[in-house]
């Protein structure tokens, strides 16, 4: 079994957390119709999610589908953070679009 650097998994958690946080800030900005702030936060969320996804892809590549990387609680936690962040960003994008449409009708 291959050992992975704990800092790699922590970076995955950090980037995923940043993506989720930015997505939530985008929603708050949209609530106030601060569209440029909402767009900037969505962009930041996307960039952080991409950074986290690159780390995940590196880990998957190193594992080669053969169980070379041990799956421990911190790895599961990191994957959970990433999936939640990705879902949060996608939903935020949709909710912000709905808020824009409603604002345009007023």
- Residues with a catalytic annotation lie at 77
Distance CA 100, CA 94 (A): 10
How is residue 3 written in tokens?
A: 């050992």
Q: Cβ atoms within 10 A of the Cβ of 74, count? A: 14
Distance CA 9, CA 30 (A): 32
């Amino acid at each position: 079994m291959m050992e992975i650097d704990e800092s790699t998994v922590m970076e995955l958690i950090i980037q995923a957390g940043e993506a989720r946080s930015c997505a939530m800030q985008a929603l708050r900005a949209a609530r106030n119709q601060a569209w440029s702030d909402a767009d900037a936060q969505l962009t930041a969320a996307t960039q952080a999610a991409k950074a986290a996804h690159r780390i995940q892809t590196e880990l998957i590549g190193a594992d080669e589908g053969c169980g070379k990387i041990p799956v421990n609680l911190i790895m599961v936690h990191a994957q959970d953070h990433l999936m939640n962040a990705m879902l949060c960003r996608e939903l935020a994008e949709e909710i912000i679009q709905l808020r824009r449409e409603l604002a345009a009708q007023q």
